[in-house]
């Protein structure tokens, strides 16, 4: 049973200020929860229906540090960020911030990416292509937003995500910086480097001028139809498929 205090606490994690204060975030859904529990990463709370708890006793037993709360479907719905709650919700401890390493392999950088769904998809794309690092500007969507965590589908477990002054970071890297831009060179015609940083910009404004000025090369996915632009995450996926080999 979920107490009023537990209900209030979990619901507070819908807001970034409380996630930052308590250093935890919400991860929901059977697939995401199972993946998180298998990694051995520290869990604060496991909130699941009786049916789910009964079917996952071994995974739960591997996390003695976690508080187990068995709930009804209605109780889960009351604290879920999903329109259709999916049997289990985890309160997960944020990893300790780590310093940004020297990047010498394929990397994604995102400049003022505001949509949580796009940010989550970006993490999932990096995970798919084996890209270990994503570097975000300070004005990007928060990476522990429930919508980001849901869209990333476990990508937080394998992709290192950093928030930094993107202009300063890109000014110091030793590998090419490839900026996705509508006035760039056709990506099919460029010489593909062994490693580079692929920069994706804001959903409506693209990459900021200071970041474009730093770029080694601006690149374009050629258009054949009538669409004005591509979704930011879609662009990242296409470019990774073409370049990360």
The reported pLDDT for the residue numbered 84 is: 84
- Cβ within 8 Å of residue 231, ≥6 positions away: 118, 203
Distance CA 125, CA 108 (A): 10
Of 206, 204, 210, 208, nearest to 181 by C-alpha is 206
Helix, strand or coil for residue 137? strand
The reported pLDDT for the residue numbered 66 is: 98
Distance of CA 29 to CAs 77, 83, 165, 199, Å?
Answer: 12, 12, 33, 31
* Structural domains of the chain ordered from first start: 4-93 (3.30.1330.30), 107-243 (3.40.1280.10)
Distance CA 206, CA 199 (A): 10
Question: What's the DSSP call for residue 218?
Answer: E
The reported pLDDT for the residue numbered 32 is: 95
Distance of CA 56 to CAs 34, 192, 219, Å?
Answer: 9, 46, 47
Question: What residue spans of the chain are helical by DSSP H?
Answer: 4-12, 16-22, 30-39, 50-55, 57-61, 73-79, 116-128, 146-152, 166-172, 209-214, 232-243
The reported pLDDT for the residue numbered 228 is: 86
Beta strands 107-110 and 197-200 are parallel
Edge to edge, what strands does the sheet with 160-164 contain?
160-164, 133-137, 107-110, 197-200, 177-186, 217-220
The reported pLDDT for the residue numbered 190 is: 97
The reported pLDDT for the residue numbered 76 is: 96
Q: Count other Cβ atoms within 10 Å, centred on residue 194.
A: 10
Divide the 245 residues of the chain into consecutive groups of 10 and give the mean pLDDT of each group: 96 98 96 94 96 97 97 96 90 91 96 97 98 97 97 96 97 97 96 97 94 97 92 97 94
């Amino acid at each position: 049973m979920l107490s009023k205090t537990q209900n209030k606490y979990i619901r507070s994690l819908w807001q970034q200020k409380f996630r930052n204060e308590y250093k935890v975030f919400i991860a929901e859904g059977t697939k995401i929860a199972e993946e998180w529990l298998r990694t051995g990463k520290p869990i604060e709370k496991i909130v699941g229906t009786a049916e789910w708890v009964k079917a996952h006793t071994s995974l739960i037993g591997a996390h003695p540090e976690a508080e187990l709360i068995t709930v009804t479907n209605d109780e889960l719905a009351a604290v879920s960020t999903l329109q259709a709650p999916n049997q289990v919700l985890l309160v997960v401890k944020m990893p300790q911030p780590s310093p940004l390493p020297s990047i010498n392999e394929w990397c994604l950088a995102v400049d003022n990416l505001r949509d949580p769904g796009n940010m989550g998809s970006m993490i999932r794309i990096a995970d798919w292509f084996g890209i270990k690092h994503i570097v975000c500007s300070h004005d990007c969507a928060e990476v522990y937003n429930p919508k980001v965590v849901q869209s990333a589908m476990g990508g937080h477990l394998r992709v290192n995500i950093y928030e930094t002054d993107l202009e300063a970071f890109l000014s110091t890297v030793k590998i090419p910086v490839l900026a996705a831009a509508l006035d760039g060179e056709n990506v099919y015609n460029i010489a593909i480097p062994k490693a580079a940083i692929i920069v994706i910009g804001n959903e409506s404004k693209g990459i900021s001028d200071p970041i474009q000025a730093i770029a080694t090369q601006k690149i374009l996915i050629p258009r054949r139809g009538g669409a004005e632009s591509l979704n930011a995450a879609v662009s990242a996926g296409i470019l990774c498929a073409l370049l990360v080999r």
